[in-house]
Structure 1
Amino acid sequence: MSIESTASAAASGSAATDRFRQSGKTSTVHASQERVNLLASKLVNAVNDIVLEERVTYDEYNAFKAWLIKVGEDGEWPLFLDVWVEHSVEDVATSHRHGNKGSIEGPYYIPEAPEQKSPAKISMRPDEKGTPLLFQGQVRSTDGSPLPNAKIELWHADEEGYYSQFAPGIPEWNLRGSFIADAQGNFHIDTMQPAPYQIPTDGACGQLIAAAGWHAWRPAHLHLKVSAPGHELLTAQLYFPGDPHNEDDIATAVKPELMLDIKPAESGTGVQTTYDFVLDPAS
């Protein structure tokens, strides 16, 4: 049975929810009562303003209530929030930076991927489909100095748009890895070019997309976390020119400075790209 026929929103959502619970990010925020009051009041008031301005009926209200319940039952709150809300949170969190622009983490990050020293090849199936991609560059600080032994965590979808650990039949660490740059901050990673994909559409998020007449597509992208001692962690997604959904990404996460420059590989096989990372010193 193919992956496409067995992957489901419920299974993917459940995995994303479990991973979030295990991530440690669910710890209580130490916010003042005034801050909680401000944010909660604004959220509730915004919802009520929509109800009054758009004359929401009881039928619409009950349909909305039923949909919210279904989001929880399907385990799709991580997907919903990461697709439609996280990009604004990320903009706020990184607005002070002078180095590289970041992007959303998304729901499919798995920590502690197998570590290798660069140059290296990411873990993949012997018959992995797609176009070979050489991803290389340098990690530097904002003052231009190279950051030796910087860590580059890389993960992405396969040619069919599926992530390991979130779809059946894929090896655990397929197309996931952590790579240690050399003494000059240089890295060289052999992987495969990912495909565009639709977020799961057979669950609550798909129900919203269909009802609103939206599309569910994300453009092809690489996920990265880049870190070095004494510097802020950079989380980013990098995109491929020419993708039809760069302009209307369902997650609103594409930025011009995150676009890759893809060229034929010097080896004669596949393609390659060079992308440097500049990290801000930790305050």
Structure 2
Amino acid sequence: MTVKIFDTPQVQDFLNTVAGFEQAGGSDRAKRIIHRLLADLYRLIDDFDVTPEEFWATVSLMNELGKGSQFGLLAPGLGFDHYLDMRMDAEDEARGLSGGTPRTIEGPLYVAGAPEAEGVARMDDGRDPDGETMWLTGLVRDTDGQPVAGARVEIWHADSKGGYSHFDPSQSEYNLRRTIVTDAEGRYAARSIIPSGYGVPEGSPTDRVLAALGRHGQRPAHIHFFISAPGHKHLTTQINLAGDPYTWDDFAFATREELLVDGRVIEEASEAEQRGLEGPFTEVVFDIELARTEAQELQSRHKRPRALEESTD
């Protein structure tokens, strides 16, 4: 038998107590947020007649997500990362900030402290037997088309099997992770390997949540970027390599048409020699446009827990 008790005075008084409204200490903002969150969940239990078995199965699944550090993996799959980007896009529009390369999600796999290079860097350690050589390059300009010298271009991506260093113990430290400072012409370049797309671990808590929604957990091949320079809005973005079957079916909702890049296969020995390469390679060109801003808070990436990054709180 379905019963509905949410709107009764007893439940409303109980919510106020649980949220700490009757206590002097704590954070008023935290109290309001928890009250709203619990109220929505209590009403959901009423509206869907959630059983104790369903509730505790969900608690167990949440415990598994936490134990496996998978909340950061599930969050983009449930659209939270993309929704936050949508909000920041709307905030930029309200501030009158326009132009520049579009943002897209950061994801959970950034690691602070990658080696830094001036102008050009090699990102891979040469140990991936299936790694196809990639020459990644581009120009960083402002919205007037002027080069931005000294911009910091932080790049990270997966290997040919879809694994990331630090999280994949088979890879060397900071493999496929570098920070490149642009030259006087605003140019950056990196020798690396073509990354592979990847999927969430099969049978993992994240996979089980997505399966319950009839969805997969696959991501297309992509390359992550942080780009920053004084006087310019910090940019968090990533490019998708054209041709991947999951380009427009990314479980993390990160694909944007403006960030889809074609790789150009080059077989001429002279072209390879100019770049210090041996044999055929794929050139990937990603030019970046930074919007100007004097607001200091917009010139740095937002704070969040990141691997090996010291807290500034």
What range is the shorter-chain TM-score in? 0.7 to 0.9
Matched, 1:281 2:313: no
Q: 1:92 aligns with which of 87, 90, 94?
A: 87
Aligned equivalent of 1:270: 281
What aligned pairs does 1:140-151 form with structure 2 within 5 A after superposition? Answer: 140-151=141-152
What are the Cα deviations for residues 148-199 of structure 1, in whole angstroms up to 9, with x where unaligned? 0111111100000100010122101111111111111111212111001012
The number of residues matched between the two structures is 251
Output the amino acid matched with 2:48.
Answer: E
Matched, 1:76 2:70: yes
Output the amino acid matched with 2:281.
Answer: G
Output the amino acid matched with 1:46.
Answer: D
Which runs of 5 or more residues in structure 1 are unaligned?
A: 1-31
What aligned pairs does 1:164-175 form with structure 2 within 5 A after superposition? Answer: 164-175=165-176
Output the amino acid matched with 1:58.
Answer: P
CA contact (8 A) 2:77 2:217 kept: no
Q: CA RMSD in A?
A: 2.1
> Which structure is higher in RCO with an 8 Å CA cutoff and minimum separation 6?
1
Matched, 1:48 2:49: no
Aligned CA distance change for structure 1 residues 102 and 44 (closer, same or farther; 3 Å): same
User: Is the partner of 1:264 in helix, strand or coil?
Assistant: strand
Query: What is the alpha-carbon distance in structure 1 between the residues aligned to residue 218 and residue 76 of structure 2?
Result: 14
CA contact (8 A) 1:164 1:174 kept: yes
| Range moving further from structure 2, 50-59 or 220-229 | 50-59
Output the amino acid matched with 1:176.
Answer: R
CA contact (8 A) 2:207 2:216 kept: no
Query: What is the alpha-carbon distance in structure 1 between the residues aligned to residue 251 and residue 103 of structure 2?
Result: 17
CA contact (8 A) 1:125 1:174 kept: no
Matched, 1:188 2:182: no
Aligned CA distance change for structure 1 residues 61 and 107 (closer, same or farther; 3 Å): same
What are the Cα deviations for residues 197-220 of structure 1, in whole angstroms up to 9, with x where unaligned? 012334321232344432111111
Aligned CA distance change for structure 1 residues 72 and 240 (closer, same or farther; 3 Å): same
Aligned equivalent of 1:153: 154
Aligned equivalent of 2:138: 137
Query: What is the alpha-carbon distance in structure 1 between the residues aligned to residue 262 and residue 117 of structure 2?
Result: 25
Query: What is the alpha-carbon distance in structure 2 between the residues aligned to residue 38 and residue 279 of structure 1?
Result: 37
Aligned equivalent of 2:125: 124
Aligned CA distance change for structure 1 residues 156 and 128 (closer, same or farther; 3 Å): farther
What are the Cα deviations for residues 246-270 of structure 1, in whole angstroms up to 9, with x where unaligned? 1221111111111112222353712
Q: Percent identity of the aligned residues?
A: 32
User: Is the partner of 2:232 in helix, strand or coil?
Assistant: coil
Query: What is the alpha-carbon distance in structure 2 between the residues aligned to residue 128 and residue 173 of structure 1?
Result: 18
When normalised by structure 2's length, the TM-score is: 0.74
Q: State the shift of 1:62 in Å.
A: 1.6
User: Is the partner of 1:80 in helix, strand or coil?
Assistant: helix
Query: What is the alpha-carbon distance in structure 2 between the residues aligned to residue 185 and residue 233 of structure 1?
Result: 16
